[in-house]
Structures are given as structure tokens and as C-alpha cells.
């Protein structure tokens, strides 16, 4: 399977069925508008946690005429986060979504040893990106959670990305390990770590996947750059996933593409369920795409 754009990904999510999403602190207009967009596509049925009166007032002001379930859990981030997580753990919801709260508040509750969500390894953020001058949808990771991953964490970020693409139906996802150069430099830990991770991938560390690196950004996405640099690579100009060495590189490069007219949808993986955790400034369309990604990643 190769997904060319978000319309195709939304189609996959539709085929896999409507999901119930628990939304922590749903008293936010862009959150509600995004949920309305996703509900119009029959992707989700939300349970809204937060100040019940405020949520209902916002829905009315936005013209959202839905009989969505609203559970009054007040205004405190921690209380709302734990209530939404509890709905997931009880089987009443299959997805978790951050509303009008700080990301740190949600993930503090998610990672709580006693009341949080089960997880293996680490959690990492994957942003799926659609741009006009690339022939398919691709992903960038991790631009949202792991600030400066060490070698062990980089391995887990790659593992999470490969698992996500396997769930989407990709047999051998192509993973590019991003650096400023495409050659290994003995005195540069970044390039040597990427080379080692690529070697581990060839040995079957991540299952069916093609992992190459280090690769510069132009080689990840540009057929012309691949030709000019005479690069022999299965991943260059055909990457499904670009793994960055740190959060700033991933976040900045992804946002640069969005400022140039691209579209993105993000999700946090590595937990027992996908988690939609967007910036408060993200558009309803971005929220729709993110909910579609999360829904499709349930398999």
C-alpha cells in the first residue's frame, strides 16, 4: 500500500470503522470544529470531558447540533486528563485526544504508573505530511515529544515509526535517517549512530523495513537531488518516514513545509492507543487529518 494524500488515508480510516475518542478538556472551538469535521466523515464519535456547560455553549455557538456525550469533569487539566484516560482503559473509547490543556499535563497523566495507559518502549510523535511536489504522503518524527533523543531513544523512535506504517498496511516502509550530510563522518556521533541503526535494520532489528542513513533532507524528498548527487539508494527521493536527530530539526522542517502550503496531521504512538495531541493553533482540517491518522493506526 502507498498512500498518496490525506484523502486516501481518510478512506482507509473509514473502511476500518468509526472510533470513539475521549477528549480531555473539550472546551475549545477548534477542537470541537475538528471533531465536527471528523464526525461528518463518520470517523469518530466523541466523549467530551470538561466543563459541561461551557462545552454545550460552545457547540451551540458553533452551530454543532450533535447529541455527543459530555461528561462534566470540571476545569482542571489533571482531572479531565485522568477521566478521559479512564474511559479508554474501561473500553468506552478507543482513542485519546488533547483538548484545551498543556501537552505536559496530558502526558503526565498518560505516563502515570498506576492510572496511565500501558505502553512499551517510549512514546513518540509522528506528523504525516502532504505537499504538492512530493508524490505521496510521508511522515516526520519526532517533532513533538522527545527533545534530544539518545541512541537508545532513536532506535525506539524508528521502531515506533515502522510499526505505525506496518499497521497502515505498508509491507516494507522506507525510512530515511535525517542528517546534514549523506556520508558517515568518524568524528560525528550523529552520522555514525544513524549508520549503526541502518546496519541493525539490515539485520532485521525492525522487521520488514528499508532503513538508510545518514541522508540529507534534499535526498529524502527530491528525485533531482538524487540524480545530481548520483546517490544509489532505495530510500532517497522515495522516503515514507523521515526520522530527525532532535525535536527542533523535525519540528522546524515540518512547519517550514506547512508554511509553504503543505498539510499535516499528527499522532503520538507507542501507547496502547494512538493519542491526538495537537497545538492549540492547529486548524480544524489538521485536526481532521490527525483523527484520521489515529483511527487508521488502530488497525
Specify the pTM.
0.95
Q: If DSSP codes are grouped into helix, strand and coil, which group holds residue 121?
A: strand
Upper half-sphere CA count for residue 107 (Cβ side, 13 Å): 20
* pLDDT for position 285: 87
pLDDT of 299 strictly over 80: no
- The pLDDT of 126-144, averaged and rounded, is 96
The yes-or-no verdict on residue 284 having pLDDT over 90 is no
Residue given cell 502532504 in the structure block: 130
The confidence score (pLDDT) of residue 271 equals 95
Distance CA 265, CA 278 (A): 9
Q: In what order do the strands lie in the sheet with 44-50?
A: 69-72, 44-50, 19-24, 95-98, 275-276, 263-271, 119-130, 138-141, 241-243, 174-178, 210-215
Whole-angstrom Cα distance, residue 74 to residue 118? 25
Checking if the pLDDT of 120 tops 90, the result is no
Give 279's pLDDT tier (boundaries 50, 70, 90): confident
Reduced to 3 states (helix: H, G, I; strand: E, B; else coil), residue 109 is: helix
Q: Which of 12-16, 117-121, 153-157, 206-210 has the lowest mean pLDDT?
A: 117-121
Q: Which tens digit of pLDDT belongs to each residue from 67-99? A: 999 999 998 999 999 999 999 999 999 999 999
Residue partners of 211: CB distance under 8 A and separation at least 6: 158, 162, 175, 177, 197, 198, 201, 202, 235
Round the average pLDDT of the chain to a whole number and report it. Answer: 95
* Rg (alpha carbons) of the chain, rounded to whole number: 19
State mean pLDDT over 51-69. 97
- Rounded percentage of the chain residues whose pLDDT exceeds 70: 100
Asked whether the bond before 245 is cis by omega within 30 degrees of 0, the reply is no
| C-alpha span between 14 and 44 (Å, rounded) | 9
Q: Which residue segments constitute the domains of the chain, with CATH numbers given?
A: 1-118+272-299 (3.40.50.10950), 122-265 (3.40.718.10)
Q: Where are the beta strands (DSSP E) in 6-148?
A: 19-24, 44-50, 69-72, 95-98, 119-130, 138-141
pLDDT for residue 280 is more than 80: no
Q: Over 80: is that where the pLDDT of 177 sits?
A: yes
Amino acid at each position: 500500500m502507498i498512500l498518496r494524500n490525506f484523502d486516501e488515508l481518510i478512506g482507509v480510516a473509514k473502511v476500518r470503522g468509526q472510533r470513539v475518542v475521549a477528549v480531555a478538556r473539550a472546551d475549545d472551538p477548534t477542537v470541537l470544529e475538528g471533531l465536527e469535521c471528523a464526525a461528518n466523515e463518520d470517523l469518530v464519535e466523541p466523549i467530551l470531558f470538561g466543563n459541561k456547560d461551557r462545552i454545550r455553549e460552545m457547540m451551540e455557538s458553533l452551530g454543532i447540533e450533535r447529541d455527543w456525550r459530555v461528561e462534566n469533569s470540571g476545569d482542571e487539566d489533571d482531572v479531565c486528563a485522568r477521566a478521559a484516560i479512564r474511559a479508554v482503559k474501561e473500553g468506552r473509547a478507543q482513542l485519546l485526544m488533547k483538548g484545551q490543556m498543556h501537552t505536559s499535563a496530558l502526558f503526565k497523566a498518560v505516563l502515570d504508573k498506576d492510572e496511565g495507559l500501558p505502553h512499551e518502549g517510549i512514546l513518540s510523535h509522528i506528523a504525516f505530511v502532504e505537499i504538492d511536489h512530493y508524490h505521496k504522503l510521508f511522515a516526520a518524527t519526532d517533532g513533538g515529544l522527545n527533545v534530544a533523543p539518545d541512541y537508545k531513544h532513536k532506535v525506539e523512535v524508528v521502531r515506533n515509526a515502522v510499526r505505525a506504517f506496518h499497521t497502515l498496511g505498508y509491507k516494507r516502509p522506507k525510512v530515511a535517517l535525517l542528517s546534514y550530510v549523506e556520508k558517515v563522518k568518524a568524528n560525528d556521533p550523529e552520522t555514525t549512530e544513524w549508520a549503526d541503526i541502518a546496519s541493525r535494520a539490515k539485520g532485521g532489528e525492525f522487521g520488514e523495513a528499508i532503513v538508510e542513513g545518514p541522508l540529507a533532507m534534499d535526498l529524502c524528498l527530491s528525485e533531482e537531488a538524487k540524480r545530481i548527487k548520483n546517490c544509489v539508494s532505495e530510500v532517497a527521493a522515495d522516503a515514507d518516514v523521515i526520522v530527525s536527530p532532535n525535536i527542533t530539526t523535525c519540528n522546524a522542517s515540518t512547519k517550514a513545509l506547512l508554511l509553504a502550503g503543505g498539510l499535516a496531521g499528527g499522532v503520538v504512538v507507542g501507547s496502547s492507543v494512538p493519542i491526538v495531541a495537537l497545538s492549540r493553533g492547529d486548524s480544524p482540517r489538521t485536526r481532521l487529518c490527525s483523527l484520521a491518522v489515529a483511527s487508521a493506526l488502530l488497525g
